[in-house]
Amino acid sequence: MKVFGRIALAGMLAAVALTANAAPVVLDNTFSCTAGNAVNGITIGDVTGNAGGANECWGTFDGNDPGPSGDGFDVGGTIFNFVARENTPGLLEGTDIGLAVDPDTGDASAGNWSFDSSTFAPTGFLIVLKSASKPGFAAWLFDGPAAASDAGTWLVAWTNQNGVQHDLSHLSIYAPTPVPVPAAVWLFGSGLLGLVGVARRKNRPL
Protein backbone atom coordinates (compact mmCIF):
# COMPACT_ATOMS: atom_id res chain seq x y z
CA MET A 1 0.00 0.00 0.00
CA LYS A 2 2.89 2.32 0.70
CA VAL A 3 4.15 1.75 -2.85
CA PHE A 4 0.80 2.80 -4.34
CA GLY A 5 0.75 5.84 -2.08
CA ARG A 6 4.21 6.86 -3.26
CA ILE A 7 3.22 6.41 -6.91
CA ALA A 8 0.15 8.57 -6.38
CA LEU A 9 2.18 11.25 -4.64
CA ALA A 10 4.84 11.19 -7.37
CA GLY A 11 2.14 11.58 -10.03
CA MET A 12 0.61 14.58 -8.30
CA LEU A 13 3.99 16.23 -7.70
CA ALA A 14 4.96 15.71 -11.34
CA ALA A 15 1.67 17.27 -12.44
CA VAL A 16 2.27 20.30 -10.26
CA ALA A 17 5.86 20.59 -11.54
CA LEU A 18 4.76 20.50 -15.18
CA THR A 19 2.16 23.18 -14.72
CA ALA A 20 4.38 25.35 -12.50
CA ASN A 21 7.29 25.38 -14.97
CA ALA A 22 5.25 26.82 -17.84
CA ALA A 23 6.27 30.45 -18.28
CA PRO A 24 5.39 31.72 -21.76
CA VAL A 25 6.08 35.33 -22.74
CA VAL A 26 2.79 37.16 -22.24
CA LEU A 27 1.80 39.40 -25.16
CA ASP A 28 -0.70 41.94 -23.87
CA ASN A 29 -1.40 45.67 -24.06
CA THR A 30 1.82 46.44 -22.23
CA PHE A 31 3.83 46.16 -25.45
CA SER A 32 1.10 46.09 -28.13
CA CYS A 33 1.14 48.28 -31.22
CA THR A 34 -2.58 49.13 -31.27
CA ALA A 35 -2.43 50.26 -27.65
CA GLY A 36 0.36 52.64 -28.59
CA ASN A 37 2.84 50.95 -26.29
CA ALA A 38 5.24 49.52 -28.89
CA VAL A 39 8.74 50.89 -28.44
CA ASN A 40 11.71 51.49 -30.78
CA GLY A 41 9.44 52.29 -33.71
CA ILE A 42 7.86 48.95 -34.65
CA THR A 43 4.49 48.95 -36.47
CA ILE A 44 1.92 46.35 -37.53
CA GLY A 45 2.87 46.97 -41.16
CA ASP A 46 6.48 45.84 -40.62
CA VAL A 47 5.38 42.28 -41.46
CA THR A 48 2.89 41.63 -44.27
CA GLY A 49 1.06 38.54 -45.55
CA ASN A 50 -0.42 37.56 -48.91
CA ALA A 51 -3.83 36.87 -47.35
CA GLY A 52 -3.94 39.95 -45.15
CA GLY A 53 -1.57 41.89 -42.95
CA ALA A 54 -0.70 41.26 -39.33
CA ASN A 55 -3.55 41.80 -36.85
CA GLU A 56 -1.34 43.00 -34.01
CA CYS A 57 2.29 43.32 -32.96
CA TRP A 58 4.21 43.54 -29.70
CA GLY A 59 7.68 44.75 -28.88
CA THR A 60 10.36 45.30 -28.59
CA PHE A 61 11.58 42.83 -25.97
CA ASP A 62 15.14 42.60 -24.70
CA GLY A 63 17.14 39.45 -25.37
CA ASN A 64 16.16 36.46 -27.50
CA ASP A 65 12.73 34.99 -28.26
CA PRO A 66 11.82 31.71 -26.45
CA GLY A 67 12.90 29.42 -29.32
CA PRO A 68 12.67 25.60 -29.33
CA SER A 69 13.59 25.22 -25.66
CA GLY A 70 11.25 27.91 -24.38
CA ASP A 71 7.59 28.01 -23.37
CA GLY A 72 6.37 30.10 -26.29
CA PHE A 73 4.00 33.05 -26.13
CA ASP A 74 0.68 33.63 -24.39
CA VAL A 75 -1.77 35.64 -26.52
CA GLY A 76 -5.01 36.10 -24.62
CA GLY A 77 -4.69 32.68 -23.00
CA THR A 78 -3.75 30.87 -26.24
CA ILE A 79 -0.24 29.42 -26.17
CA PHE A 80 1.81 29.81 -29.34
CA ASN A 81 4.69 27.32 -29.33
CA PHE A 82 7.85 27.32 -31.44
CA VAL A 83 7.51 25.74 -34.89
CA ALA A 84 10.52 26.75 -36.99
CA ARG A 85 13.09 29.46 -37.61
CA GLU A 86 15.82 30.41 -40.02
CA ASN A 87 19.08 31.37 -38.37
CA THR A 88 22.14 33.12 -39.74
CA PRO A 89 23.28 32.23 -42.37
CA GLY A 90 20.12 30.52 -43.57
CA LEU A 91 20.32 27.64 -41.08
CA LEU A 92 16.87 26.11 -40.52
CA GLU A 93 15.78 24.81 -37.12
CA GLY A 94 12.62 23.14 -35.89
CA THR A 95 9.84 21.50 -37.90
CA ASP A 96 10.27 21.35 -41.68
CA ILE A 97 7.46 23.59 -42.95
CA GLY A 98 9.39 24.82 -45.98
CA LEU A 99 10.26 28.07 -44.21
CA ALA A 100 12.23 30.41 -46.44
CA VAL A 101 13.58 33.86 -45.60
CA ASP A 102 14.86 36.00 -48.48
CA PRO A 103 17.40 37.47 -48.40
CA ASP A 104 19.14 35.19 -45.95
CA THR A 105 18.85 36.38 -42.37
CA GLY A 106 21.78 38.43 -41.18
CA ASP A 107 22.30 40.00 -44.62
CA ALA A 108 19.67 42.76 -44.64
CA SER A 109 17.08 44.68 -42.67
CA ALA A 110 14.18 43.71 -44.98
CA GLY A 111 13.09 40.83 -47.20
CA ASN A 112 10.49 38.14 -47.87
CA TRP A 113 9.23 35.15 -45.88
CA SER A 114 7.24 32.07 -46.91
CA PHE A 115 6.36 28.53 -45.85
CA ASP A 116 4.71 25.52 -47.46
CA SER A 117 0.98 25.73 -46.72
CA SER A 118 0.50 22.11 -47.83
CA THR A 119 2.47 20.98 -44.76
CA PHE A 120 1.70 23.84 -42.37
CA ALA A 121 -1.74 25.47 -42.32
CA PRO A 122 -2.35 26.87 -38.82
CA THR A 123 -5.48 28.68 -37.66
CA GLY A 124 -3.20 31.45 -36.47
CA PHE A 125 0.52 32.08 -36.08
CA LEU A 126 3.14 34.51 -34.87
CA ILE A 127 6.10 35.76 -36.88
CA VAL A 128 8.91 36.81 -34.56
CA LEU A 129 11.81 38.92 -35.78
CA LYS A 130 15.02 38.93 -33.74
CA SER A 131 17.41 41.81 -34.33
CA ALA A 132 21.09 40.98 -34.80
CA SER A 133 21.76 43.19 -31.77
CA LYS A 134 19.83 45.19 -29.20
CA PRO A 135 16.98 45.93 -28.66
CA GLY A 136 15.99 42.28 -29.12
CA PHE A 137 12.82 40.90 -30.74
CA ALA A 138 9.22 41.69 -31.64
CA ALA A 139 6.20 39.55 -32.58
CA TRP A 140 3.45 39.90 -35.20
CA LEU A 141 0.13 38.01 -35.02
CA PHE A 142 -1.64 36.58 -38.08
CA ASP A 143 -5.15 35.55 -37.06
CA GLY A 144 -8.55 35.10 -38.71
CA PRO A 145 -8.43 35.47 -42.54
CA ALA A 146 -4.81 36.68 -42.31
CA ALA A 147 -3.82 33.25 -40.94
CA ALA A 148 -4.22 31.90 -44.49
CA SER A 149 -1.06 33.83 -45.42
CA ASP A 150 1.88 31.63 -46.40
CA ALA A 151 4.14 34.39 -47.74
CA GLY A 152 4.85 38.04 -47.18
CA THR A 153 7.51 40.59 -46.30
CA TRP A 154 9.44 41.46 -43.16
CA LEU A 155 11.20 44.60 -41.99
CA VAL A 156 13.47 45.15 -39.01
CA ALA A 157 12.41 48.73 -38.54
CA TRP A 158 13.34 49.36 -34.95
CA THR A 159 16.47 51.15 -33.79
CA ASN A 160 18.53 51.09 -30.61
CA GLN A 161 18.98 53.94 -28.17
CA ASN A 162 21.65 55.45 -30.43
CA GLY A 163 19.39 55.44 -33.47
CA VAL A 164 21.27 52.60 -35.15
CA GLN A 165 19.16 50.16 -37.18
CA HIS A 166 20.18 46.49 -37.18
CA ASP A 167 19.88 43.59 -39.57
CA LEU A 168 17.87 40.45 -38.82
CA SER A 169 19.35 37.66 -36.73
CA HIS A 170 16.51 35.18 -37.33
CA LEU A 171 12.85 34.89 -38.23
CA SER A 172 10.75 32.44 -36.21
CA ILE A 173 7.25 30.99 -36.58
CA TYR A 174 5.10 30.12 -33.55
CA ALA A 175 1.63 28.56 -33.66
CA PRO A 176 -0.99 27.18 -31.23
CA THR A 177 0.02 23.59 -30.47
CA PRO A 178 -0.72 21.16 -27.64
CA VAL A 179 0.97 22.19 -24.39
CA PRO A 180 2.07 19.90 -21.50
CA VAL A 181 -1.19 20.42 -19.58
CA PRO A 182 -2.78 17.15 -20.81
CA ALA A 183 0.27 15.24 -19.60
CA ALA A 184 0.02 16.96 -16.25
CA VAL A 185 -3.67 16.13 -16.03
CA TRP A 186 -2.90 12.50 -16.92
CA LEU A 187 -0.29 12.27 -14.18
CA PHE A 188 -2.64 13.90 -11.71
CA GLY A 189 -5.36 11.44 -12.72
CA SER A 190 -2.93 8.56 -12.32
CA GLY A 191 -2.15 9.80 -8.84
CA LEU A 192 -5.83 9.93 -7.95
CA LEU A 193 -6.38 6.43 -9.34
CA GLY A 194 -3.49 5.25 -7.21
CA LEU A 195 -5.08 6.73 -4.12
CA VAL A 196 -8.42 5.13 -5.00
CA GLY A 197 -6.68 1.79 -5.40
CA VAL A 198 -5.01 2.15 -2.02
CA ALA A 199 -8.34 3.01 -0.39
CA ARG A 200 -10.07 -0.02 -1.92
CA ARG A 201 -7.32 -2.37 -0.84
CA LYS A 202 -7.44 -0.95 2.65
CA ASN A 203 -11.20 -1.41 2.94
CA ARG A 204 -11.27 -4.90 1.37
CA PRO A 205 -12.47 -7.51 3.89
CA LEU A 206 -9.92 -10.09 4.96
pLDDT digits (tens, 9 = 90+) for 6-28: 434 344 334 333 334 458 999 99
Between 16 and 68, the higher pLDDT residue: 68
What separation in angstroms does the CA of 186 have from each of 8, 59, 81, 189?
12, 36, 21, 5
- Residue ranges making up the domain that contains 95: 26-178
Q: How far is CA 141 from the centre of its chain?
A: 11
Question: Global pTM?
Answer: 0.75
| pLDDT confidence band for 64 (50 / 70 / 90) | very high
Residue 93 lies in a domain: yes
Asked whether the predicted pLDDT for residue 69 surpasses 50, the reply is yes
Together in a domain, 36 and 107: yes
Asked whether the predicted pLDDT for residue 146 surpasses 70, the reply is yes
Report H helices in the chain.
2-21, 181-203
Together in a domain, 11 and 74: no
pLDDT digits (tens, 9 = 90+) for 76-127: 999 999 999 998 666 889 999 999 998 766 668 889 999 999 999 999 999 9
Distance CA 149, CA 112 (A): 13
Could you give the number of structural domains in the chain? 2
Together in a domain, 111 and 130: yes
Q: Across residues 39-49, what is the average pLDDT?
A: 92
Q: Which has the closest alpha carbon to 61: 99, 31, 22?
A: 31
Together in a domain, 126 and 195: no
Together in a domain, 31 and 81: yes
Residue 21 lies in a domain: no
Asked whether the predicted pLDDT for residue 1 surpasses 80, the reply is no
